[in-house]
Structure 1
Amino acid sequence: MLKKILVLDDNMDILEVVHEVLTYEHFEVNSTSDSKNIVTVAENYRPDLIILDYKLMDDNGGEICRRIKSHHQLHKTPVIIFSAYTNKTDFYSFGCDAVIAKPFDLTELIDTVNSCLQLSL
């Protein structure tokens, strides 16, 4: 069975690239730009990994990560935050498992995803 990944980013170009790359790497991917119901989407989709953009137009990926990590069903799900602002924020304080700096290398994305999935076994 394919590993399931939920991706949240409000930049449609990035969302499309990440979706295509992860699908090509044989993951089942659910991509969304809507942060308002992301916890409910995660509850229903039950991903093996969640990737969140940090700076969203209507929300904050760090705070979403905090909600996920305190959720009774989702707290063990690895979360990767990606952001262009990696030198300004301590992302690990939100409880994420990894951080990817934007712009990112696709090999780095795949390596980080695989590492987080291995650690969650």
Structure 2
Amino acid sequence: MSRKILILDDSEDILEVMKEVLEMAGYEVKTLNYTDDICKSVMTFNADLVILDYILFGINGGELCHILKTSAVTAHIPVIMVSAYPRVLESLGSYGSDAFVAKPFNLTDIVDTVKECFLKAGDIEHADY
């Protein structure tokens, strides 16, 4: 059974590229460019991992990460933050994220980071596609 990854980014191009590369790596991927309830979106899709852009329309992804990591129903789900502004994220903290990937990124960086997060979470089966 393939693992499910939810990606939230306001760039359609980034969503399309990440979806394609992660699906080629064997994951089931859902993309969103907006959500008004991150926990509901994650639970509805039954996501095993979430990738969040740091800068989104109307809210920063760090706040969404914090919401996921402090909610009892989603705290166990690995969250990867991506941003073109790594220094801002470094100064503000990781918001509880499990990993960070700076934009622009190499596509293998995304796949490798996803695998590392599953491995850290103890999911050996899905860490090694």
What is the TM-score of this pair, normalised by structure 1?
0.95
Q: Secondary structure at the match of 2:52?
A: strand
RMSD over equivalenced CA pairs, Å: 1.1
**Equivalent pair of 2:38/2:68 in contact (CA under 8 Å):** no
Q: Corresponding residue for 2:127?
A: none
Q: Equivalent residue of 1:89, what SS?
A: helix
In the TM superposition, residue 92 of structure 1 has moved relative to its aligned partner by: 4.5
- Report % sequence identity: 42
Residue 102 of structure 2 corresponds to 101
Name the amino acid aligned to 2:85.
Y
Structure 1: gaps of 5 or more residues: none
Amino acid at match of 2:47: P
Could you tell me the TM-score, scaled by structure 2's length?
A: 0.89
AA partner of residue 88 (structure 1):
V
2:109 corresponds to which letter in structure 1?
A: E
Q: Would the aligned equivalents of 2:35 and 2:41 in 1 still touch at CA under 8 Å?
A: no
In structure 1, the partner of 2:2 is: 2
Structure 2 residue 39 is matched with structure 1 residue 39 = yes
In the TM superposition, residue 88 of structure 1 has moved relative to its aligned partner by 2.1
Contact 1:35 1:59 in 2 (8 A): no
Residue 93 of structure 1: CA displacement? 3.6
- What is aligned with 1:30? 30
Q: Secondary structure at the match of 2:89?
A: coil
Q: How many residues align?
A: 121
Instruction: State the distance in 2 between where 1:4 and 1:43 align.
Output: 11
How far has the Cα of 1:44 moved from its partner? Answer: 1.5
Question: Alpha-carbon deviations, 1:6-45, whole Å to 9, x = none?
Answer: 1000000000000111111110001110132322111222
Shift of 1:89: 2.2
Query: What 5-or-longer segments of structure 2 have no aligned partner?
Result: 123-129
- SS in structure 1 at match of 2:62: helix
Please tell me the residue identity of whatever aligns with 2:104.
Answer: P
1:1-121 counterparts in 2 under 5 A?
1-90=1-90, 92-121=93-122
